[in-house]
Amino acid sequence: MEFRELECFIVLTEELHFARTAERLYLSPGRVSQLMRSLETRVGGRLFHRTSRRVRLTPLGERFLADLRPSYDGLANAVSRAKAAAREVTGVIRIGFLSTPTDVVTGSVRAFEHRYPGCEAELVEIPLSDPFGKLRAGQVDIAFTLLPVDEPDLVTGEGLNRVSYQLGLSSRHPLATRASIGAEELAGVPLIGLDGPAPRTWRERVAPSATPSGRPIPLAATVTTSQEGMTQVALNRGGMLFCTPTAAHHGRPDVSFVPVTGLPPSILGLAWVKAAETATIRAFNETAVGHALGVAALVA
């Protein structure tokens, strides 16, 4: 039995008028008549006496209403409570982050928990080689990621920062003492790329296969996490690109970070599954954007 038929029946018993029932339910009078005929077919008898001037319940309709009303009210109340809960920002939100919880990540979490004390934020690390797997598996609700994202089932928020890249090199590498390196020079530096199910566009962002002018960049090895990549770099098995905040976090004596010029900026943002969006997810994204704008204003 269709909920819309039952809803229409309940409203019609209150209004006893097809046009007013249609108006309350944002339907046409003809659609109301159609729904009632369908319900009467399911029940197996007439529920209303209809004339050109009057609508009233039949004895069968009165009995059906008496039996239906408690269940219908309970269902309607359950739907109302569910809608109200969906608008609330409470409970636990699981937030994915990539390799390094920089200030964009931790600052957003602190701002969110301050703004919504009834909600707890849990941080979950996401493998660099599989940026969207935990989102799609429901293991995290929202994730910090590199923008843009070209995944039809995902929604993204605004960019939270725009930072330059640095090239991680072994301190023994000939370029390790350089003040900077141009993007075209990457053609002479084998880069460490990614294993796993990461989309091609994501792999290109982490380890581009060509310089901006089209010169091929050799691939040194593939890894699944930033820590694996850092180990390969320390062993002088290739270079690896890191955004500047992550490079600052990973400072160590056997690895040098050289600023790279001529590459598009690294943009960090948030992504979530479109079909699983909640008020809490929207609230966290809005808080992160607000935090990022506040930081940018302080820097400016």
Same-domain pairing of 292 and 232: no
Q: What is the pLDDT of residue 294?
A: 78
Residue 90 or residue 48, greater confidence: 48
Residue 99 or residue 59, greater confidence: 59
Q: What is the CATH number of the domain that holds 68?
A: 1.10.10.10
Measured distance CA(257)–CA(10) in Å, rounded:
70
Contact in structure between 109 and 97 (CB atoms under 8 Å)? no
Average of per-residue pLDDT values in the chain: 91
Residue 223 or residue 53, greater confidence: 223
Q: What is the pLDDT of residue 297?
A: 45
pLDDT in tens, 101-112: 888 999 999 999
Q: What is the pLDDT of residue 87?
A: 67
Q: Which domain holds residue 67?
A: 3-80
Q: How far is CA 37 from CA 40, 67, 112, 168, in A?
A: 5, 19, 52, 72
Angle subtended at Cα 199 by Cα 193 and Cα 200, rounded to the nearest 5 degrees: 60
Residue 299 pLDDT more than 50? no
Same-domain pairing of 233 and 198: yes
pLDDT in tens, 110-119: 999 999 988 9
Helix and strand numbers (H, E) in the chain are 10, 14
Residues 6+ apart with CB under 8 A from 10: 65, 68, 69, 72
SS3 62: helix
Same-domain pairing of 230 and 253: yes
Same-domain pairing of 26 and 112: no
- End of a domain among 33, 54, 80? 80
- Give residue 86's pLDDT band: very low, low, confident or very high (50, 70, 90): low
- Give residue 281's pLDDT band: very low, low, confident or very high (50, 70, 90): very high
pLDDT in tens, 167-190: 999 999 999 999 999 999 999 999
pLDDT in tens, 133-158: 999 999 999 999 999 999 999 999 99
Q: How far is CA 262 from CA 173, 186, 213, 220, in A?
A: 21, 11, 10, 21
Same-domain pairing of 195 and 229: yes
Measured distance CA(256)–CA(7) in Å, rounded:
68
Residue 54 or residue 300, greater confidence: 54
Same-domain pairing of 196 and 215: yes
Same-domain pairing of 241 and 175: yes
pLDDT in tens, 196-245: 898 999 999 999 999 999 999 999 999 999 999 999 999 999 999 999 99
First to last CA, the chain: 61
Same-domain pairing of 210 and 290: no
Residue 296 pLDDT more than 50? no
Which sign does the torsion angle of CA 141, 144, 145, 149 carry? positive
Q: What is the CATH number of the domain that holds 137?
A: 3.40.190.10
